[in-house]
Structure formats: C-alpha cells, structure tokens
Amino acid sequence: MSEPNINRLKNQLNEHCSVLGVAPFIQTCPQHDGSPHVEIKDGRYHYIITDRGNELAHKITDDEDEIMYWLVSDVVFGMACTYELENRIKGQSFRRLLFSKQIELMKKVNPNWAKRTEKEIEAILEAHPYDDKAEG
C-alpha cells in the first residue's frame, strides 16, 4: 500500500468529479463551517468535519478507496440535494427524489460505490421509512 498523499487524492477526486461535471475541492485544514477537510497523520487519512470549533465527525482510514468514497459521497449528496430542491414533488417525501438521484450519480462514478450507497440508504429507510404526508 502506498503512503497517503494529498496531491494523489486531489487528482483522483478530479477524475471522479469530471465524470459528474463539477469541480473538485479538498480542504486540508478546518473551516469550522460544517464542511469536511482531510489531514494525513501517522500515515493515515483523517476525514474531519468541524463547525464553530467543534468536531462533529472524525473518520480514519489508510484505504485510499475509502477516503475517496467519503469525498465523492459528499459531492454527490450536494448535487442530489440541489437536484431535489429544483425538482421537488409536492405530496411526496423529498428523500425519494434525493436518494434516487444520489444512487444515479454514484453509478456514473463507480458502480460498486452505488451499491454501497444503496445499502446505506436502505438502512436509513429501515430506521426511518418514507412519510409522504409529513415530508412532502
């Protein structure tokens, strides 16, 4: 396994984002605005989300595919949110359109990641099923 490298990560993210037609961006220091940043410590990638000085999430991996999945998932989620807002269907849970768009976009980037995204969404829906009345 190769040593973690931010420039290599940026290049890979650029390739994935070009498929989606968006510009990639990786923060390497905290912005404290709820956005993630990536640090390399002790030979591992640290994916950290901070807001107003508080750490909200901190995931660690030495797997470049894993960190790339996290980063691309962020991009795809943002794109899916924008799509859902622009195409909202009255009387239907916003998550129906959001989740389907997430999977669609992820399939463009990596079919295996799309399957993983589907499983994550299934777990969400198992715990919190669609409620068209309340969410639509």
**Is 45 a member of any domain?**
yes
Q: How many domains does the chain have?
A: 1
Burial of 134 (0-12, 13-18, 19+ CB in 10 A): exposed
pLDDT in tens, 52-91: 999 999 999 999 999 999 999 999 999 999 999 999 999 9
User: What pLDDT sits at residue 135?
Assistant: 86
Alpha-carbon distance 19 to 41, whole Å? 30
Domain with 16, as residue range(s), is 6-135
Secondary-structure percent of the chain, ordered helix, strand, coil, rounded to 5: 55, 20, 25
User: What pLDDT sits at residue 1?
Assistant: 63
- Is the Cα dihedral 43, 120, 115, 36 positive or negative? negative
**Is 119 a member of any domain?**
yes
How far from the centroid of its chain's Cα atoms is residue 103's Cα? 11
**Is 1 a member of any domain?**
no
The model's pTM: 0.92
Mean pLDDT of 95-101: 98
**Is 94 a member of any domain?**
yes
